[in-house]
Copies of this chain bind each other. A is one copy, B any other.
């Protein structure tokens, strides 16, 4: 471990991965839970699996085009259960708020939480509220922990040679929208923040693996899938759906859009013979859905570009804090 924690330790890339490995090494008791390095952990509970996942949301600004931190928190946690194949049965909601935080903002955030909770039919069953002095915290931090159930777990380590990789829509919209609103950059782009549970349920049985490309973006997501499945993923840059506005914003800021967070997209691995059916279903929801690559023997992630092939590395860290 380095001597001090840096922003990179929370950025969703390789440096965060190293910190999490260090922490997990120290937590010796594993119990009967499995999948502890996936989006959640699961327990075989007889005729079904119980799944648990947690996330703290520090996103700033708290309100952004397409949503707010309340919508983000509930959506993100339900999505983490969804990509494991699970339907959420309950969420907890823990708020840590800065002294002086405007009550009207808190009200808006809670109303967003309620909207998503109702829409997805997932109750918020327990909570906690803390207030910190203004000089010790800026804004609001929301933790949502979710529990869900499923008859069949979808794992990150289930890719095999010949599988196709599909993404459910344009990538990086959330990160671009947040960055733009942070820097007062004028754009029409809005966050993709949305539940993916409906899509995954509809594709159930046809999916080999699924993952939401949040912190660290598509680059971190693909590297995790390749690494856990012990395969190589080859993706075609031309095929990756991305908005021109996203490219414009990341170009200005010098950020690789492939490391930018999505909050309503899912990367899906399917066997080659299921590809056309899965893609056509996805396209009815979002015409930008696209097959972007395939799984081959080897390791790591390869990006095919006009200039040739290069490794698409897991970002070490990124310089954009509080994006989720």
Contacts and interface: CB of A to CB of B under 8 A. Distances in A.
- Counting chain B CB atoms within 10 Å of each CB, the highest count among A2, A132, A321 belongs to A132
Nearest to A123: B31
Contact of A41 (B26, B90, B99, B104): B90
Given A93-B54, A102-B4, A130-B58, A113 B10 contact: no
Q: Is the interface of A mostly helix, strand, loop or mixed?
A: mixed
A103 to B, nearest CB: 4
A99 B5 contact: yes
Interface stretch (A133-141, A187-195, A242-250, A273-281): A133-141
Nearest to A131: B10
B5 A145 contact: no
Instruction: Kindly state the interface size class of chain A when it binds its partner.
Output: 35 or more
Copy count, this protein chain: 2
Given A52-B90, A107-B1, A129-B9, A27 B143 contact: no
A106 interface: yes
Interface in A11-60: 11, 16, 19-20, 23, 26-31, 33, 36, 40-41, 43, 50, 52-56, 58, 60
The 10 closest A-B pairs by CB, nearest first: A10-B131, A31-B123, A145-B145, A54-B92, A41-B125, A143-B143, A136-B138, A33-B125, A5-B101, A41-B126
5 contacts: A1-B107, A5-B100, A31-B125, A56-B96, A137-B137
